[in-house]
Amino acid sequence: MGAVSSTTESVVPVGPAASPLVRALRGERTDRLPVWFMRQAGRSLPEYRELRVGTRMLDACLTPDLAAEITLQPVRRHGVDAGIFFSDIVVPLRLAGISVEIEPGRGPVFADPVRTASDVARIVQIDPEVVAQAEPIREAVRLVVAELGDTPLIGFAGAPFTLAAYLVEGGPSKEHLRARAMMHADPESWHALAGWLARVSRAFLGAQTDAGVSAVQLFDSWAGSLSVADYRAFVAPHSRAALAGAGAPRIHFGVGTNHLLPDMRLEGTTDAVGVDWRTPLDEAARVLGPDVTVQGNIDPALLQAPWEVIEAHVRDVVERGRAARAHILNLGHGVPPETDPDVLTRIVALAHEVGV
């Protein structure tokens, strides 16, 4: 009886999996530098402002065809290498039945802040699976994915600390004193709340990945207010849990987190770390090491500068990004609402011209 030979054929990625962005998240460099912008879908676009007339923010997020159209607008206009799903970090909390509204000019406001052990005990009784089963989110993602074709869609969720900071404070805060105080005054309640929020964020990410997003990003907008010790003890384990089993490449982003960069890798859970505008990318790459992709980090303030200033800055960011295994060009935070959309379009063209 003759020997049976077998050959293993390598699988060549197709569709969004073959895109420069997803390949960069895998650590590959292609002949095209991938670029997208945090908050690219939103207030800087006149077509967005026109579409949103008469519709509250959270209602727009939970109306599938509207959320899909808003997600697609900047991809059409700017030619970015990924869409970012139009939603808000408090949407999963609304889906879980928590009373929250986004007040124009202020941000998320909660009718019932979570500040005591009994408040925490009440809220953690809610089953996070109600978020995972949210059909408006799944339907909006499906609509976008069908329209984008080979261009990837990035899903996202808020990190447990940032969500907790809003919940405990009852709304936006500069220093998040109540949330940071809870960590030490009642660590049991803190971990119960943060653990529940991690499951909520994971469920929200799961709904998006199930519907077809190609990557996910965890936003920890307020992590920069934490010391390294507090981050490690009270936050990092819950952020890891939020991203665990995401089912897609994972990006982790925080603001003011230069002192936390090694920990932002979440012990290898993340494929890429977003860097804000304060830290040069070559320095960040040295801190993060050779096995993680960097994302960033154009200074959003410079979007108001003359084009020659912007161009020099973008070229510098791209050059510094070469120190990392791979680089995804982005801002160091979100697009300011007063940004001229044509500036973003020119940055995309420049990024594609400069290459990797």
Q: Which of 43, 142, 322, 346 is catalytic?
A: 43
Query: Which residues lie below 8 Å from residue 56, measured CB to CB, with a gap of 6+?
Result: 101, 102
Whether 32 sits among the annotated catalytic residues: the reply is no
Whether 325 sits among the annotated catalytic residues: the reply is no
Whether 48 sits among the annotated catalytic residues: the reply is no
Count how many residues are written for the chain.
Answer: 356
Q: Which of 77, 94, 166, 320 is catalytic?
A: 166
Whether 76 sits among the annotated catalytic residues: the reply is no
Whether 52 sits among the annotated catalytic residues: the reply is yes
Q: Which of 81, 88, 220, 276 is catalytic?
A: 88
Pairing of strands 153-158, 83-84: parallel
Q: Which of 52, 138, 142, 278 is catalytic?
A: 52
Instruction: Please identify every residue annotated as catalytic.
Output: 39, 43, 52, 88, 166
